[in-house]
Amino acid sequence: MDLTPPRALTRRPSFSRRQTLTLAGAGAGAAALALPFAQNAAAATADTPAGATARDTAAGTGADDPYDTLLARAEQQLTGGDFDPEDADFATALTALDTQAAAWWQSIDTAAGRKALWPDLAPASDPGMFGQSYTRLRTLATAWATPGTSLSADTSVRDGLLDALRFLHSTGYNASRPETGNWWFWEIGAPRALMDTCVLLRSALPAEDLADYLATVAKFVPDPDRRTNSPTLAETGANRADKAVIVALRGLLARDPDVVALARDGLSDIRDGGRNSLFRYVTSGDGFYADGSFVQHSYVAYTGTYGSVLLGSVGQLIALLADTTWAVKDPAVTVLYDAVDRSFAPVLLDGLMMDALRGRAVSRERARDHTDGAVTVSYILQLADGAPQSYADRWRATAKGWILRNQETPYRTLVGLPALARAKAVLDDPAVRPAERLTGHFAFADMDRVVHRRPGWACALSLSSKRIAAYEAGNGENLHGWYTGDGMTYLYDGDDLDAFGDGFWPTVDPYRLPGTTVDTRARADLGTDGGTSTLRPKNAVAGGTVLDERYGAAAMELMADGSTLRAKKAWFFVDNAVVALGAGITASDGRTIETVVENRNLHAESAPVLTVDGHRQPTGSGWSAALPGARWAHLEGTGGYVFPSGGPLRALREERTGTWRALNTGADTGGSTTPVTRRYATLWFDHGPSPTSASYAYVLLPGASAAATGAWSRSRPVRIIANDATVQAVESPRLGLLAAHFWAAGSADGLLADGPCTVLVRRRHEGITVAVADPGRTTATLTLQLPFPVSRVISADGTISVTPGRRAVLTVRLGGSRGHTHTAELI
């Protein structure tokens, strides 16, 4: 299978979680594998002859020495192993690696009195600067070790790398220094890149130098279990996985079996009896949840970055240690295998990672949704190499479908040689049939996220509560993330996968994110201080329920930060429509309140037609209009919008310019000051200053034509039956579906609830299905009365008891269920 353009092949540097390396301006993004880093190193040191290399020291151990074998594996994970430099499938990645490495090699400072290796990373004594310097040296070492690059096997490059490592050790990163600034550079970023570089240079690295580097890493990453600068803090999630890899590499380089075992045991948290094992489901804090959620930093939905890092790091270590005395044999590793299907597949659309799961990483210019998605796909294929066949076969088919469908940002342009080699094997194997797009409705109750997937589109909701943060910012990142967790609605069109990846974040109006209801007050930048911080709002309700894996309902009580704004928001997912309702919208600060229906990225030059009630609107930037009587609208290439209750609708077409630097000034992730310009079409409801009990209603019809949108508006196949501060509900007679969120005891079309809950009921000839959840987690026991008779129970969760009759009554024990769905099938 021809993966691409014209030329040689590539191997690519591994990427740290915090910095997805951009290899040249060609857009080559994340590294194929590698991630975790850091740890202890005892040392191949004492009584070593002066001038001996690390390999000389190990001489005499035999051809099948396990350390040599595993270090060769580690090198292959970085370079991709043997390949044909003339194979065109690898040309893009090889060119990107070569271009970037050559540029850094040409600009490296070798002067005796230097203060840094590169002028933009000065002084090298600063942790952010030496951390990034090690990352560049790893890229250079990868190019040196990769056939087909201009630096390959060049002795001057080798000697320059050895000299640069000594300089960084003496000037910046050594065991005599205390940690200052951001701990991450000391305990993960620098040691991981350093250990990778030592693996690549091990045949030339003097034993004395290696001993110094191992001793440094041993000080700052003695084990995967604890934060070195805060020894009482146990490492969790991706940080633990990162450190496990660093420790393993240190142990292999030091030829210390106990250190290698320490790395492996860190995955299962042997030290603390499994409390922080990466192979267990958590019910709070960091890690994977049984419902597919992944949380890091205690309160942040982070499947797309930290979750991906964990997947890659653990997968790398499993592959590295396979078939040795240190092999990972914890039977609970199936938790990680199941996470591919539960946690990652629902939030990957044709290989892009949905932004609702990427936290502050959305502000990183060099790590957009396609890039992070491609890295995750590479980790899934890596894990498949060592997983049971039933898992591996399914993942390879899924990955093949992702890669083949995404032609807007081809996989080959985003990953390096190790990932390309795996992908090429899958693409060339006729026995692997590409899987179709995943469809279904997914309610991730433990991280306040909702994903609805249809064959041609997907929709993701980013909610927040007192349990899950509205945003994370810090270390100069995500400076404008104020409203990303306030019900932001990501609508993905299968025919335009770049809506959020093509310059969206630096150019979108951050006060008008789709789906949000906002106070228009001016906001100060977030995250300008050191460290990271989160905002957890005071509301309890955020989440919803799912029925038949196809239909969904969700709700969020908005309690705006720094404002008196309050609102009750609900969404109903009915086949090919998303109905959004808002009620009780109240504020008293004197500022205008808006609800944003859409703020669509039209890219740099597109001018799709906007039609309102059958009338074509002007396409020029700067056009705006009040549309108080509008019943429907259609945006060419996106879909339709229906306004069942009318309302104070406004529309705008504008061209917006911004910079990535305005969003991210991070030490190793900061954006450029290059202006980015994109066009937008915006629809919003203007609720006016200090509204009292205002409301809204709109329907999204992704992919619908203008004619179909107008017909939907007239026929109303989904009817709104309630939209107030007590209950918000819709029904679809054709589907026999009734969906409601009760904010308090109330009724909707004969459905009675005696307390807060979200309910879906579907009545068909073959029976009745019911799904109930309590996204506020405040109701212990709920009584629900159905508006029609039930004769018997076909099946029901153990938490549901049913009293059949003309008006059947369900009693649902919701306490302790953490907002998850309870279901029953009746007849």
Active site residues: 239, 297, 306
Residues 6+ apart with CB under 8 A from 761: 737, 738, 739, 751, 768, 769, 770, 771, 786
Contact 744, 726 (CB under 8 A): yes
Token pair recorded at residue 608: 């799709």
The DSSP-derived string for 181-208 is: S-HHIIIIIHHHHHHHHHHHHTTTSBHH
Q: CA-to-CA distance for 445 and 289, rounded, in angstroms?
A: 10
Residue 11: DSSP 8-state? -
Q: CA-to-CA distance for 357 and 516, rounded, in angstroms?
A: 17
Q: CA-to-CA distance for 472 and 593, rounded, in angstroms?
A: 24
Token pair recorded at residue 244: 């496990």
Q: CA-to-CA distance for 12 and 158, rounded, in angstroms?
A: 17
Residue 305: DSSP 8-state? I
143: helix, strand or coil: helix
Question: What is the side-by-side strand order in the sheet with 767-773?
Answer: 719-723, 727-732, 737-742, 757-764, 767-773, 822-826, 793-796
Cα radius of gyration (the chain): 28
Token pair recorded at residue 251: 């142990």
* 825 C-beta neighbours (distance < 10 Å), count: 14
Distances (CA, A) of 629 to 227, 233, 691, 702: 59, 58, 20, 22
CA torsion sign for 150, 153, 159, 164 is positive
Contact 775, 751 (CB under 8 A): no
CA 195 and chain centroid, separation: 26
Cis (ω within 30 of 0) for the bond into 644?
no
Q: CA-to-CA distance for 191 and 195, rounded, in angstroms?
A: 6
Half-sphere exposure of 327 (CA within 13 A, CB side): 8
CA torsion sign for 50, 52, 58, 59 is negative
392: left (phi over 0), alpha (psi -120 to 50) or beta: alpha
Contact 8, 148 (CB under 8 A): yes
- State the pairing for strand pair 822-826/767-773: antiparallel
CA 350 and chain centroid, separation: 14
Q: CA-to-CA distance for 598 and 605, rounded, in angstroms?
A: 19
Beta bridge partners of 632: 642
Q: CA-to-CA distance for 268 and 262, rounded, in angstroms?
A: 10
* Three-state helix/strand/coil letters over 583-629: EEEECCCCCEEEEEEEEEEEECCCCCCEEECCEECCCCCCCEEECCC
781: helix, strand or coil: strand
Give the chain's length. Answer: 827
Contact 197, 101 (CB under 8 A): no
Contact 819, 543 (CB under 8 A): yes
Q: CA-to-CA distance for 197 and 74, rounded, in angstroms?
A: 11
